[in-house]
Structure 1
Amino acid sequence: MTTEERPPLTRDRVLAAATRVADVEGLKALTMRRLGAELGVEAMSLYHHLPGKEALLDGVADALIAEIQAAAADVVDDATGWKERLRRTFLAARVVVLRHPWAPALLGARTTVPPRLFAYYDGIVGTMTGAGLSHRLAHRAVHAFGTMALGFTQELFRPEAAGGAADVDAAEADLAAMAERLPHLTAMVAAELHDAADPVLGWCDSQTEFEFTLALLLDGLERAAAAQR
């Protein structure tokens, strides 16, 4: 493609290319030089739109939230009741994050809140208070949901988030070594090893567990809402 045929460089185009690179090569591969190569431009030209690597990552995080917002908007229109609206919102967020498995690590590492995140959570709180839940109860619910609102659960120990990788052989060896000293924990882990087809974002973050936890929280919130009346 010649310079004349190349689309103009915009912030949105840069962020879309950054997302593609992260999807294919991982978050560590996302550098200004690699991004310039993806777009067919010199890395320095990217600084007009995003002044450095941290600004780039902040932009990718904000674009991710925009994608989650759009996915949620597509599924909640015909939802009946606040519980179903929240359930569909969180599951829509999960579909997005499963498309971008680097998302939990990126969001967990940001030192600034993505601008769109405030609007996203404002909608979640509005869904609850609009149904009669008090602001106090909505506040407690936001804390209880944690990162589930963003489509994933935060693992207590997750080597990938720190830049490592899960070593399956080492994990199995550790499991065998634990068997005698920690029989109950070992039996639980062995019983819950996930099928390869089960969408997983971490050691324990499977689709079944995500939906199970979400249902427990929504049911408990419904009981708390009834008690406040």
Structure 2
Amino acid sequence: MSPRPAPNLDLRRDQIVRAARDLAESDGWAAVTMRRLAGELGVTQPVLYSAFAGRQALIDAVALNGFGDVAAALEAVDASPMPRMRAYLDFAAAHPRVYEAMFSMPSGLAFAADDTPEPLRRAFSGIRDAFGDADGTRAEVAWSALHGLATLQAAGRLTPGQAQARLDLAHRMLTQLETR
């Protein structure tokens, strides 16, 4: 009898991240447990722990995956401010639990540091390309404004039906800075 081939760890990690994302989006983050994921994937919990040290490492991987996706969404549109702003807000609205993992849940990910992971850098570059300046401050302010809009909209704390008016106003405010 020949030995069982070694599992492809990258493939396993991708499957687990995808399952965690799907489960979080459908049932919320409280439903994402290692036990439930193991059941969903038809594996044992040790299989999950061979890919991720624990739930926090898995949530960080989902967040990184989300940053890669938002970067791709930003890169898929024109680099001018309005299309980038719209793409960002559309991503946040379409993937609320992933967005939550990216920004609202505890995280071991480094932001704005030397060891910031590449997907975060790419996502920020997508904003910086539209609102860039020498030190990235305008891009940080633009990202902050977009994050505020996305977070407050997801929480139902903004007037319904005013999303476009808010986006237009944020666009005018952020691009007006270019002329001063």
TM-score, normalized by the shorter chain, greater than 0.5: yes
- What is residue 143 of structure 1 aligned with on the other side? 141
Per the alignment, residue 92 of structure 2 pairs with 97
The corresponding residue for 1:154 is 151
Matched, 1:112 2:114: no
The C-alpha deviation readout for 1:42-99, integer Å capped at 9, x for no partner, is: 011111211101001101111111221222233x1xx3xx5xx332223223333223
- The alpha-carbon deviation at position 221 of structure 1 amounts to 3.0
Match of 1:217 in 2: 170
Q: Match for residue 121 of structure 1?
A: 124
Which amino acid is 2:105 matched to?
A
What value does the CA root-mean-square deviation take over the aligned residues? 2.8
Q: Is the 8 A contact 1:21 1:30 kept in 2?
A: yes
Identity, % of aligned positions: 26
Q: Which residue of 2 aligns with 1:158?
A: none
Give the whole-Å Cα distance in 2 for the aligned partners of 1:226 and 1:204: 32
Matches within 5 A, 1:1-229: 9-74=11-76, 76=77, 79=78, 85-106=80-101, 107-113=103-109, 115=117, 116-129=119-132, 134-135=133-134, 138-146=136-144, 148=146, 152-155=149-152, 201-205=154-158, 208-227=161-180
Is the CA contact 2:74–2:88 (under 8 Å) kept in the aligned structure 1? Answer: yes
Partner of 1:188: none
Corresponding letter in the other structure for 1:49: A
What is the distance in 2 between the residues matched to 1:42 and 1:120?
34
CA shift, 1:13, in A, is: 1.2
What stretches of structure 1 of length at least 5 have no aligned partner?
156-199
| Residue correspondences, number | 165
Report the CA distance shift for 1:93/1:123 in structure 2 as closer, same or farther (over 3 A): closer
Q: TM-score, normalised by structure 2?
A: 0.75
Deviations for 1:105-129, whole angstroms, at most 9, x for unmatched residues?
3221233337212221123223333
The alignment partner of 1:102 has SS state of helix
TM-score (norm 1): 0.61
Letter in structure 1 aligned against 2:62: V
Unaligned runs of 5+ in 2: 111-116
Choose 1 or 2 for highest CA Rg. Answer: 1
